[in-house]
Amino acid sequence: MSRLLVTALTGLTLLTSLVLTSATAHAADFPFTLIHANTSGGDKCIGPRNGDTTNGTPAVLMDCNQLWHGTGRDGSVRNFGGKCLGIKAGHPVPTPVGTPLVLSDCTSPVSGDQQWTFAAVHAGGQDGLWVLRNPGSLRCANRANGGTATGTPLVIQDCSFRVDQQWVLPQLPPTYGFSWDDGTA
């Protein structure tokens, strides 16, 4: 009996290893990047408050030292530590304007609150300006009250494509495994 249990556990461990290695290897196929705020008067990027990686940590504007990438398949925006950018849990439906964005463990499959599309501000996206739209809520990541200071929280707002919703990437979003809409279709 114990030999059968050991064989079953060994098989399960191997299967788990193959699944996790495959998912990790696929995610690692995409380079990391900074997600810059389109601000004048200082270079700020999306990051977790104080660099914390605890679930529920608010996403804020901060110095540009937090790296992000996608997987190319699930619409997630993941930080260097593997956490997903999402809408704070427990909000009513539809998602209210002003609901905070937070960092949390990525769900499997990735939940609608952790899915994002980089939508071009100008058709084609060649200028590198994007809004970060949550397809589930049909709302966008926004700097609270249009703030530009370090620590300004990110919240969900109606998509208007105004400057406090604009983010800058050095290359097109799929380069980093992000979902995107270039506005040409």
- Looking at residue 35, the DSSP 8-state letter turns out to be -
Q: Residue 149: its pLDDT value, please? A: 93
Q: Residue 123: its pLDDT value, please? A: 96
The residue segments making up the domain with residue 45 are: 32-181
Task: Check whether residue 76 and residue 8 sit in a common domain.
Answer: no
Q: Residue 3: its pLDDT value, please? A: 41
Secondary structure (DSSP) of 67-125:
-EE--SSS---EETTSPEEEEPTT--SSPPTTPBEEEEPPPSSPPGGG--EEEESSTT-
Specify the pTM: 0.83
User: Per residue in 89-120, pLDDT tens?
Assistant: 988 889 999 999 999 999 999 999 999 999 99
Task: Check whether residue 104 and residue 156 sit in a common domain.
Answer: yes
Task: Check whether residue 20 and residue 46 sit in a common domain.
Answer: no
Task: Check whether residue 24 and residue 69 sit in a common domain.
Answer: no
d(CA 123, CA 131): 12
Task: Check whether residue 92 and residue 165 sit in a common domain.
Answer: yes
Q: Which amino acid is at 166?
A: Q
Nearest CA-CA partner of 112 in 150, 139, 148? 139
* H/E element, 62: strand 57-62
